[in-house]
Chain A
Amino acid sequence: MSRSFLAAILLAPAAALADASPVTIAADRILGVYGQEEYGENDWNGDDHSDLAVLAVSEAGDSVDLYLATSDPGTGLRAVTEVIRAILPYDPVSVASGGLEYNVSPAHEGYKPEVHISSSATLARTSIITNPRVEGSGIVRIASSRRVPGTNRAEVICEIVFVEYGVEGFEPWAKVIAPDGTELSYNPGPGPLLSDWNYTDLPAPCLP
């Protein structure tokens, strides 16, 4: 895919892309699909047609990309409207050994697409709840957890919340616990645009 075509995908609204060439991907790169939901949970643009989120291994094979496709209000047909590069790192060795799993699924908060990487062996998990928007998608919440040493339970060591639905005047907040136990709380400011963001922007304790 050329840079100019990708730029067009990133900038143009869904309706304008309805006649564009389809965005294709090798089937073996697809890690997760959040498609049709029975009660319209994945209607992010509010037009009564379902939208789509797809998680896939990047072309270079070292990170994970998120594709967001939104529906045309008139026809219901979907078009890829955003491609978010490197939303998570990718480790093929750990995946092949069964140590890591990736997926995209409805988040508890507002059924937005939640991408996550998790390990059943170590109980480590990082999730990023996205906020699909016509004007450019953002992030609702990021959370990472790790196994509590010597136990079989996990604890949250990083939480960054940019949006809290239904809370007027909500102030973004973040709490990060360093490996030495030092706790840092701060206001992370307004949520970033996903097109300007990748997983390396995370504070170190939040990295998967």
Chain B
Amino acid sequence: MRAIALFVTLASAPCASADEIPQIDITRLAAEASGQDWNGDGHADRLLLVWSDKGDAFDALTFISDAATGTLRFTGVSQAILPARWPLDRSDLHAVAYSSNLGCNPGCVADYTLPGLYSKVGDTFIEITVGWTASGWEIAEVQTRAEGSDCVIDYRAGTAKVDWLDDTEYTIDSGPPPALAPYWWREGLPKECRFAPGP
């Protein structure tokens, strides 16, 4: 593997491939998760959230373990997958959770095989739970929330529920799990769930 120098941003390389390990500006690091096995081979994997160059989104860098050796293999950059702002405000929050708890009622068992990517910009919240598949990352669940309205989509179960501020509650067809794509939270979300800041 060779390293490429991306001094300030990842986005200056449109799509860093899996054999090029990006150089990260340390101050652009937002969150990291490790210690969980997301590809089911018994070894821990790793995920980093990094501010994009425009500062309006987070990129995700993923490392998946090699089943035979346990060593981590860089699997690429998923660009602009969550809203962000830079410089961040004190009320903002972003994290990579170790498990999916969306729609998890008391007594349910958290799913540690899926990382949840979490961003709160001002009063707008979005969490994307992703799953690693043979063809890459796909979206398993999404939750968006703003000004008291709430939307939860479980693509694996095929259900979506929207709860508006006026207590109107209805379900929509989620469709199959989509691939994780840049700015999916702006363009791929069902319109009823687009509480996240637009472009």
Contact = CB atoms under 8 A, between A and B. Distances in A.
B30 A33 contact: yes
Nearest to A37: B93
A26 B88 contact: no
A79 B27 contact: yes
Nearest to B8: A22
Contacts of B69: 96
Contacts of B199: none
Contacts of B3: 26
Contact of A24 (B23, B34, B93): B23
Interface string B4-25: 0111100000000000011111
A101 B46 CA distance: 12
A174 interface: no
B72 A28 contact: yes
A183 to B, nearest CB: 33
Interface string A54-91: 10000000000001010000011111100000000000
Interface in B28-79: 28-32, 34-35, 42-44, 48, 61, 63, 69-72, 74
A49 B44 contact: no
Given A52-B29, A98-B44, A101-B44, A27 B90 contact: no
| B interface, size bucket | 35 or more
Interface in B74-92: 74, 87-88, 90-92
Interface string A21-58: 11111111011110111101001000011101010000
A77 B87 CA distance: 6
Contacts of B95: 36
B90 A40 contact: yes
B74 A28 contact: yes
A69 B74 contact: no
B145 interface: no
Interface in B93-132: 93-95, 120
Nearest to A118: B35
A36 B51 CA distance: 12
Contacts of A26: 3, 21-24
A22 B93 CA distance: 23
A52 B26 contact: yes
B48 A96 contact: no
A80 B88 CA distance: 16
Contacts of A35: 29-31, 94
Nearest to A55: B32
Interface of B: 3, 5-8, 21-32, 34-35, 42-44, 48, 61, 63, 69-72, 74, 87-88, 90-95, 120
Interface of A: 21-28, 30-33, 35-38, 40, 43, 48-50, 52, 54, 67, 69, 75-80, 92, 96-98, 101, 103
Given A36-B93, A78-B87, 7 more contacts: A21-B7, A22-B27, A24-B26, A25-B26, A26-B24, A27-B23, A32-B34
19 contacts: A23-B25, A24-B5, A26-B21, A31-B34, A33-B29, A33-B48, A35-B29, A35-B30, A36-B30, A36-B92, A40-B90, A49-B87, A69-B26, A69-B27, A78-B27, A80-B26, A92-B71, A96-B71, A101-B35
Q: 8 smallest A-B Cβ distances: which pairs?
A: A96-B70, A33-B32, A76-B87, A22-B25, A24-B23, A78-B27, A38-B93, A33-B29
